Amino acid sequence: MYARAVAATTTALLGTAALLLPASDARAGAAHPTVIAHRGASAYAPENTLAAVDRAAELGISWVENDVQRTKDGELVVLHDDNLKRTTDAEQVFPDRAPWKVKDFTAAEIARLDAGSWFSPKYAGTRVPTLEQFMDRLELHHQKLLLEIKNPDLYPGIERQTLKVLDEEGWLDPHHLANRLIVQSFGADSIRTVHDLKPAVKTGFLGTPPEADLAGYAAFADQINPSYSSISRGYVASVHALTGPHGRPMEVFTWTVNDADTARLVAGYGVDGIISNKPDVVRDALPAGLRPGHESTAPAPGALSVAGRTVGTWTAKGSTSSRSCGPSSVATSVL
């Protein structure tokens, strides 16, 4: 009888403590920033190539971000810029094809280009991968994908096509949807379309909407993913205070953080993910308890155990919400 009374009192105290704690504090014991390799480990290998995926895997980085665009003949390829000049030798191979837009070249033509020499002679002959090739390499390493639909206004219907490729590659099964795939874009309409077509897919909006507008994005975006220079602890808390389309607190993945001091700063803000060209630098800058893979699964001695949120675990649910928000696209992006 006495034991039951003590247990009941303890349970009541634990429940009261959890209710009294601010939401961010309640999450702090369980949450840790996910580290994402930006365009692969792009400080060490040419961006958005299979070599950059391999380098991320060698560094022990599970999450890889990429950029998806479409060729003249309808193939999805992994490239950041809407033209081929910066990261390939298109100007030399096709000197009369200015301004060398991705959408003006076939997949076979792009496959001829050298996408590595601009970065280092070591990578001469590296090719621009198709989305399928990129995903196959991720699967080989058991990695996860933060996929950005790039310039959706240039490619009508790219959302449906991207989902089709993801499905054909087996990335829309429950396992991948649970914790291995996020689709993001600077275009709010694009992310809304992804959500409407496949509500189970976790989505992110790239940018820093005014705090007053954040609630509108919660109808179709699970994340708000801003530049690190545009956020504060208060902004991150405002995002976390909202419930996303899958019934869980919205998250913040911030970019592009390449040094230890900034990594510790934004981790202190409470962000859920840090996107970096140097993911190893970010990972190693975080205190051991905040590094991916180092989170504790048991409370410290004498600590209260409260309900928390663990980044990287996701229960996919459908949503039919149709609320709208502010801007549908952002003209310039650097992610």
- Catalytic residue set: 38, 80
Show the CA angle centred on residue 193, arms to residues 188 and 249, nearest 5°.
65
Q: Count of CB atoms within 10 A of residue 30's CB?
A: 18
Burial of 136 (0-12, 13-18, 19+ CB in 10 A): middle
Map 182-229 to HEC letters: EEEECCHHHHHHHHHHCCCCEEEEECCCCHHHHHHHCCCCCEEECEHH
* Close Cβ partners of 151 (under 8 Å, ≥ 6 residues apart): 69, 82
**Residue 132 token pair:** 């399928």
Which 3 state secondary structure label does DSSP give 255? strand
CA–CA distance, 157 with 148 (Å, rounded to integer): 15
CA–CA distance, 214 with 140 (Å, rounded to integer): 37
- 33 sits in the region (left: phi over 0; alpha: psi -120 to 50; else beta) called beta
